Amino acid sequence: MIRGMTIYARYPREWLDRVSAVVFGCLLRGELRINVYPNLGLADGAAPWDVSVNDIPFELRLPNTRLWLQLDENFKIMRAWLRESGE
């Protein structure tokens, strides 16, 4: 905080345009758990993220479906699409 102002670091736009994710499953009504950035980091972990089922198209909601996500600056899902097996 500098003189009453809060400075928020922004991620570069290209980091948010294509984020890898994998569908884990539906744990709560109306929500879908996805794992963001699988196979990266220590212990091959991913960041679990609960999102509204409305954010992911119906045909992409099955467990283990590999996705690409496009996020806005507030990390809201703008678009989700299928990641091909070679990607």
What pLDDT digit, counting tens, does each position of 53-63 carry?
Answer: 999 999 999 99
- Check: CB of residue 35 under 8 Å from CB of residue 48: yes
Give the three-class secondary structure for 47: strand
Instruction: Assign residue 33 the CATH number of its domain.
Output: 2.40.50
Structural domain includes residue 6 = no
Provide the number of structural domains found in the chain: 1
Round the CA-based radius of gyration of the chain to a whole number and report it: 15
What value does the mean pLDDT take over residues 76-87? 87
pTM comes to 0.76
In-domain check, residue 7: no
C-alpha distance from residue 45 to each of 31, 34, 64, 87 (Å): 21, 12, 15, 18
Residue 3 lies in a domain: no
Q: What is the pLDDT of residues 38-53, one digit of tens each?
A: 876 555 668 889 999 9
Is the model's pLDDT at 76 over the cut of 80?
yes
Instruction: Examine the pLDDT at 7 and tell me if it is beyond 70.
Output: no
Task: Read off the DSSP letter of residue 12.
Answer: P
Look at residue 80 in the predicted model and tell me its pLDDT: 97
Q: Which domain holds residue 20?
A: 16-82
d(CA 23, CA 52): 12
pLDDT given at position 1:
44
- Tell me if 53 is assigned to some domain: yes
